[in-house]
A and B are shown apart, each in its own frame.
Chain A
């Protein structure tokens, strides 16, 4: 394996990755003059940057969350140049608009993944394998205990619980950007076409998804619906609302939560979840290690999550890897 020179032009800092020749930051956690943003989650896309490069969908999401953001829209596959660095965006399969950023400079290719997953998702484009010399990857679920089951199995668990409890409603906790829409999209894919009711905090994002061409079927507001009309229905809310007073307006809710962390029993118990649904928008252990094999970089840098374990796997497989000390990335955001 050859030595890469990337460390001379890319600097990992606790608050972001700095591309020296371009004088630009990837996913900076504080305001900068030039930001390359991988996707719309708050720990990657912050407000206050002078100039932002992101996919049109990510810009739309940032616009919804932070008001108007002046930004340069970059579609998947499109490239531009900044200080001699050729930069292009490639689908990451994480949430709508999520991108990996490929940087080509001085004869080297470097990919920063942001967050990604490998399995199919009806609400966003699939992950694209981008061969490179240096692979800067996330590691949220980088432990061999994390193997997310087939999504169909988990959706089936949800639908069976609904059938078994016709007098109750099933309240599914799911993050507002990505997971909520995916749960709805997967239900539609499984042939469930009844109305799905939304917590107020999810409505705008779901409507934005629909505007951007993602079909979520008949979605309605909990606020506009009578309690009894929600018996036997599926309701989606942000996880923070699960044990909140808000849920009193629901008919005897059975609490579910869609998250990769639900694989660990005690994590589900900590959140008082009765029906854990193991659904993640991050790659699981098998997908992470498969991606390492597919991309086959000469060197891997690990940004956030369980860095130690992924670095260890690379060591066991004779791949060069190092952990970057990143801060401010939310551990529990899936």
Chain B
């Protein structure tokens, strides 16, 4: 535990990528199984203790600390785990206790019931230093926040054992923590893990925003960017699995899709639901949300929101790996593959016949379909590569909607922004001249603008509700958002999708901000 907590703290304070790689690979070389495998899983986000959640951590803290003092502390620190680690009473002679090993901690966290979790955590905490307490809570509840991506952790593993990171990624999703086969392979004590007959995740190919670039349509193919969930379907003929963009297994939430896919191969597409108001066409993301995050889906759910997948790409046809082939070649393979699938559940994303870039611009501007998020541009000769590669794929989202809103409340942010008032609730005017909240945004501004907004909040606070500050209603924020929907969450009855601050309108008097009625007309 001590080595792990040192690693975490060193990672937090080390700025350079190479420095972080060295720290992780040194740790992985020195630590033993299974501890290092669990730590690797924690760094890549592959560790989950279903019965140990943030609420267990909070409940544990409430047993020892006054709730008001805890909330004020949490607001200031900007991180629940760190707050608890710091606030926890220090035990004298902590050195005299045996700190439990990672392996022991994992065994107990995995076995504990939801109701016993707070007690278990607090028993561990009492035997630890503040830094170890922090490491424990981060480890148990996920989200290391040490500036290490899954990819970086795997690169460090490669560096430790002289393996290519691509080779690690290839086998990664077929293995589970604590990855003893992987370390055995790395140390030369075993062959590369055998993946035959296992349906597992392959890293997605991702796109850069197009921004102001113009591309030649003879080099690029265009298709709609559908507003659903990007998924990968992997079928071995014996089993089929569905993976989200992050590689999470979401098969259980979409059994209708998984059961309908009987083929062998790996395809990439957009998960959508049919909306009755759109004549069986793809419905907006809102409808799909009804089915997201559910462990099990009811028959009614399956009926009301039938899911289907619009396929973009094919990675494997049968056992043949197509990822090295060009997009043009893969597209032909996909066109042969799709007709063999259940037509209720699968179709192919059609290619936009754009004569040139201007024509494409017209097509993009002309669409009014709520299920279309924008346009994708794919280089015709590009292989299917993991991650974002410059110049190969672009996304060109529809222009966002904008509204001028008035800042109403502010709260401190988390993480890097923990000292700044960076989370803003804003509102628009009703016909009676009242401000009703319409959304909340945390992003879109530059660091300089953030400092300015933070100063504004501190100088213009008129009320405090715990960590929330109510401000003078004088600051107009231009808010950009992808779409707006009916919602019970806000008093205005509206909710924005992906709102962000696009401009700070210090030039605009608050009275001239937008009306709630204006926003209602934008509802899709």
Please tell me if the beta carbons of A147 and B416 are within 8 angstroms of each other in the complex.
Answer: no
**Given A144-B65, A263-B86, are A274 and B15 also a contact pair (CB < 8 Å)?**
yes
A268: B residues at CB distance < 8 A: 12-13
A273: B residues at CB distance < 8 A: 13
Q: List 26 A-B contacts (CB under 8 A).
A: A144-B73, A145-B73, A145-B77, A147-B86, A263-B86, A264-B76, A264-B77, A264-B82, A265-B9, A265-B79, A266-B77, A266-B78, A266-B416, A266-B418, A266-B419, A268-B13, A269-B12, A269-B416, A270-B418, A270-B419, A275-B13, A276-B13, A308-B68, A309-B68, A309-B69, A312-B69
Measured in the bound complex, the distance between the Cα atoms of B415 and A143 in whole Å is 18
Q: Distance in Å from the Cβ of A334 to the closest Cβ of chain B?
A: 13
Please tell me if the beta carbons of B86 and A274 are within 8 angstroms of each other in the complex.
Answer: no
Please tell me if the beta carbons of B76 and A145 are within 8 angstroms of each other in the complex.
Answer: yes
Asked if B260 CB lies within 8 Å of chain A CBs, one says no
Closest to B466 in A: A308
B65: A residues at CB distance < 8 A: 144
A267: B residues at CB distance < 8 A: 418-419
Near A by CB (< 8 A), chain B positions 274-312 give none
Please tell me if the beta carbons of A313 and B69 are within 8 angstroms of each other in the complex.
Answer: yes
B91: A residues at CB distance < 8 A: none
Asked if A290 CB lies within 8 Å of chain B CBs, one says no
Asked if A316 CB lies within 8 Å of chain B CBs, one says yes
Asked if A194 CB lies within 8 Å of chain B CBs, one says no
**Given A266-B415, A266-B418, A267-B419, are A309 and B72 also a contact pair (CB < 8 Å)?**
yes
Measured in the bound complex, the distance between the Cα atoms of B66 and A233 in whole Å is 45
Measured in the bound complex, the distance between the Cα atoms of B86 and A264 in whole Å is 9
Please tell me if the beta carbons of A145 and B419 are within 8 angstroms of each other in the complex.
Answer: no
Closest to B70 in A: A144
Please tell me if the beta carbons of A309 and B15 are within 8 angstroms of each other in the complex.
Answer: no
Measured in the bound complex, the distance between the Cα atoms of B72 and A305 in whole Å is 12
Measured in the bound complex, the distance between the Cα atoms of B257 and A138 in whole Å is 62
- The total of chain A residues at the interface (CB under 8 A) is 25
Looking at the complex, which one of A143, A264, A275 makes contact with B69 (CB distance below 8 Å)?
Answer: A143
Near B by CB (< 8 A), chain A positions 64-103 give none
Closest to A274 in B: B13
Looking at the complex, which one of B9, B72, B90 makes contact with A143 (CB distance below 8 Å)?
Answer: B72
A146: B residues at CB distance < 8 A: 86
A306: B residues at CB distance < 8 A: 72, 76
Near A by CB (< 8 A), chain B positions 54-89 give 65-66, 68-69, 72-73, 76-79, 82-83, 86-87
Measured in the bound complex, the distance between the Cα atoms of B16 and A272 in whole Å is 11
Measured in the bound complex, the distance between the Cα atoms of B418 and A308 in whole Å is 18
Interface string of B83-115 (1 = CB under 8 A from A): 100110010000000000000000000000000
A270: B residues at CB distance < 8 A: 416, 418-419
Measured in the bound complex, the distance between the Cα atoms of B415 and A161 in whole Å is 26
Q: Distance in Å from the Cβ of B171 to the closest Cβ of chain A?
A: 34
Most chain B beta-carbon neighbours within 10 Å: one of A268, A270, A313: A270
Measured in the bound complex, the distance between the Cα atoms of B79 and A316 in whole Å is 25
Please tell me if the beta carbons of B72 and A269 are within 8 angstroms of each other in the complex.
Answer: no
Interface string of A53-66 (1 = CB under 8 A from B): 00000000000000
Closest to A267 in B: B419
Measured in the bound complex, the distance between the Cα atoms of B419 and A269 in whole Å is 12
Measured in the bound complex, the distance between the Cα atoms of B464 and A69 in whole Å is 40
**Given A264-B77, A309-B69, A309-B72, are A145 and B83 also a contact pair (CB < 8 Å)?**
yes
Please tell me if the beta carbons of A143 and B76 are within 8 angstroms of each other in the complex.
Answer: yes
Interface string of A299-313 (1 = CB under 8 A from B): 000000010110011
Near A by CB (< 8 A), chain B positions 33-68 give 65-66, 68
Number of A-B contacts (CB under 8 A): 70
Interface residues on B, range: 20 to 34
Measured in the bound complex, the distance between the Cα atoms of B464 and A276 in whole Å is 32
Measured in the bound complex, the distance between the Cα atoms of B73 and A312 in whole Å is 12
Q: Apart from A266-B415, A270-B418, A312-B66, what 9 extra A-B contacts exist at CB < 8 Å?
A: A143-B72, A144-B69, A144-B87, A264-B418, A266-B82, A267-B419, A306-B72, A312-B72, A313-B69
A275: B residues at CB distance < 8 A: 13
Measured in the bound complex, the distance between the Cα atoms of B15 and A144 in whole Å is 29
Asked if B176 CB lies within 8 Å of chain A CBs, one says no
Asked if B518 CB lies within 8 Å of chain A CBs, one says no
Please tell me if the beta carbons of A316 and B86 are within 8 angstroms of each other in the complex.
Answer: no
Q: Distance in Å from the Cβ of A210 to the closest Cβ of chain B?
A: 33
A313: B residues at CB distance < 8 A: 69
Please tell me if the beta carbons of B12 and A265 are within 8 angstroms of each other in the complex.
Answer: yes
Measured in the bound complex, the distance between the Cα atoms of B464 and A266 in whole Å is 24
Q: Distance in Å from the Cβ of B131 to the closest Cβ of chain A?
A: 10
Interface string of A88-128 (1 = CB under 8 A from B): 00000000000000000000000000000000000000000
B83: A residues at CB distance < 8 A: 145
Closest to B134 in A: A265
A144: B residues at CB distance < 8 A: 65, 69, 73, 87
Measured in the bound complex, the distance between the Cα atoms of B77 and A146 in whole Å is 10
Q: Distance in Å from the Cβ of B244 to the closest Cβ of chain A?
A: 28
Asked if B14 CB lies within 8 Å of chain A CBs, one says yes
Measured in the bound complex, the distance between the Cα atoms of B451 and A332 in whole Å is 14
Closest to A265 in B: B12
Interface string of A10-21 (1 = CB under 8 A from B): 000000000000
Please tell me if the beta carbons of B418 and A309 are within 8 angstroms of each other in the complex.
Answer: no
A308: B residues at CB distance < 8 A: 68, 72, 464
A145: B residues at CB distance < 8 A: 73, 76-77, 83, 86-87
Q: Distance in Å from the Cβ of B398 to the closest Cβ of chain A?
A: 35
B76: A residues at CB distance < 8 A: 143, 145, 264, 306
A309: B residues at CB distance < 8 A: 68-69, 72-73
Measured in the bound complex, the distance between the Cα atoms of B90 and A309 in whole Å is 20
Q: Distance in Å from the Cβ of A209 to the closest Cβ of chain B?
A: 30
Please tell me if the beta carbons of B73 and A269 are within 8 angstroms of each other in the complex.
Answer: no
Measured in the bound complex, the distance between the Cα atoms of B77 and A143 in whole Å is 10
Closest to B66 in A: A316
Interface string of A127-149 (1 = CB under 8 A from B): 00000000000000001111100
Measured in the bound complex, the distance between the Cα atoms of B14 and A270 in whole Å is 12
Measured in the bound complex, the distance between the Cα atoms of B20 and A274 in whole Å is 12
Interface string of B403-418 (1 = CB under 8 A from A): 0000000000001101
